[in-house]
Amino acid sequence: MMQHGLMGLVFLLFSTSLIGELRVVDMVVNSYTEECVGEMEGNCLLVQEGDQIGTDDWSLFYYEDSIEGFDYEPGYIYHLKVKKKKIKNPPMDGSSISYRLVRVMSGSVSSTLSASSPGGTPGRRKF
């Protein structure tokens, strides 16, 4: 009986540590990019995650640390489900977190686009 209790405790501790390593999160990707400066220069996606979604607060997301399986197209605002996983031994010049697309929940043309813009008439896009 005590052996089963001990095994249950070990399983609980192990499963709790795994939960911290891999999470599925909601993420919103803005319709345009911004220039990144610092260690890595180039264009960055603007993203919101968790409690940040729906606010005016956007975070820079480096292309090099992009979301595996996600093809960004400028002019669209995307709502994504993403697997966020901590990398155990990340490269010194890379991210300590990997992102993998689970599902595109929605994608809509940015309301700042006009009908003559490359994105066309504002509206919803099927994914």
In total, how many domains does the chain have?
1
Q: What is the pLDDT of residue 15?
A: 40
Mean pLDDT (the chain) is 75
Domain assignment present for 15? no
pLDDT at residue 85 above 80?
yes
Domain assignment present for 10? no
Domain assignment present for 88? yes
For the four alpha carbons of 85, 102, 61 and 49, in that order, the dihedral sign comes to negative
Eight-class DSSP state of 18:
H
Q: What is the pLDDT of residue 107?
A: 84
pLDDT at residue 103 above 70?
yes
Domain assignment present for 30? yes
Which two tokens mark 24? Answer: 């599925």
Domain assignment present for 35? yes
Domain assignment present for 111? yes
> Nearest to residue 30, comparing CAs of 122, 101, 111?
111
- For the entire predicted model, the pTM comes to 0.67
Domain range holding 69? 21-125
Eight-class DSSP state of 111:
T
Domain assignment present for 69? yes
Q: What is the pLDDT of residue 96?
A: 79
Domain assignment present for 2? no
